Amino acid sequence: MTDLSSASAEETESAGESLGATLRPADVVYLVGDLGAGKTCFARGLARGAGAPAAGVASPTFSIVHEYVDATGRTVLRHLDLYRIADHARDLESIGVPETLAGSPVAVEWPGGAIRELLPPTVEVEIARVGEQERTIRITRKSS
């Protein structure tokens, strides 16, 4: 377990970048925190650390899944936002969880019970606000 402090969005993104550089293809990263805590900011860093340009990283709330690719066209991160998905296995299966997500790391915002059964985490990132810009970030790698 690693505990970090962040005083800005840039520091939160940098923490994500550090983790992103270590991700393996089978990794599933749960991003946990309140609305506005910095989950998407952290995901932007994950994508950059994994080799994708961070400029295009945004919350996939309306599209549910975004794929980020490196300069060679290889998918280096899939990013899910399940905020608008009911917590039912059939809803997740309808978007291809877990079959279509194999082969690259996956970051999941708003993970509920059904996703935990279909795609259990290898890393859990908890982000909590402690001030206007300040955040605490706890990164826990689950044993495999």
- Tell me the pLDDT band of 100, cut-offs 50, 70 and 90: confident
pTM confidence score: 0.90
Cis link prior to 98 (omega < 30° from 0)? Answer: yes
Q: Does residue 32 register a pLDDT over 70? A: yes
Written as six digits, the tokens of 32 are 């946990």
Q: Does residue 15 register a pLDDT over 80? A: yes
Between 86 and 30, the more confident residue is: 30
Could you tell me if 144 and 7 are in contact, meaning their C-beta atoms sit under 8 angstroms apart? no
CATH homologous superfamily of 2-141? P-loop containing nucleotide triphosphate hydrolases (3.40.50.300)
